[in-house]
């Protein structure tokens, strides 16, 4: 079944740890996105990719990094987690052409102690 997956769903980690949030989609979409969302608040785009080996920073400055080595996989990494990184991270993908909606994963809720 075509879908978009995020793991882990919940992560509680200590300050200074390196973490990677996984995002995979089986829809064959070229375009993928990472958003940061505080609970019940608006979404902020932090990274996006228009295809393999293409990554761009979004509108909200973020200390995280991303990679796009395979079409279906778009992981987000924090080299040294801090409490200010506590948030929900949402991954999305879309078909080309600009007319199409973005499909969202279930999100990862990150808590840094």
Partner 1 sequence: AQSVAQPEDQVNVAEGNPLTVKCTYSVSGNPYLFWYVQYPNRGLQFLLKYITGDNLVKGSYGFEAEFNKSQTSFHLKKPSALVSDSALYFCAVRERENTDKLIFGTGTRLQVFP
Q: Kindly tell me which residue out of 12, 41, 60, 113 binds partner 1, with binding defined by CB under 8 A.
A: 41
Site for partner 1 in 48-107 (CB under 8 A): 48, 58, 90, 92, 94, 96, 98-107
Q: How far is the CB of 80 from partner 1 (least distance, A)?
A: 26
DSSP the chain: ---EEEE-SEEEE-TT--EEEEEEESS--SEEEEEEE-TTS-EEEEEEEEETTEEEE-SS--S-EE--SBTTB--EEESS--GGG-EEEEEEEE-SSS-SPPEE---EEEEE-
Query: What is the binding site for partner 1 (CB under 8 A)?
Result: 6, 31, 33, 40-43, 45, 48, 58, 90, 92, 94, 96, 98-107, 109
């Amino acid at each position: 079944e075509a879908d978009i997956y995020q793991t882990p769903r919940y992560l509680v980690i200590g300050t200074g740890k390196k973490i990677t949030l996984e995002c995979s989609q089986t829809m064959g979409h070229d375009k993928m996105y990472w958003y940061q969302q505080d609970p019940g608040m608006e979404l902020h785009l932090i990274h996006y990719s228009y295809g393999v080996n293409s990554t761009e920073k979004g509108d909200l400055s973020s200390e995280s990094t991303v990679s796009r080595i395979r079409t279906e996989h778009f992981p987000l990494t924090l080299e040294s987690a801090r409490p200010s990184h506590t948030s929900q991270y949402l991954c999305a993908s879309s078909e080309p052409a600009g007319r199409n909606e973005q499909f969202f994963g279930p999100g990862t809720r990150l808590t840094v102690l």
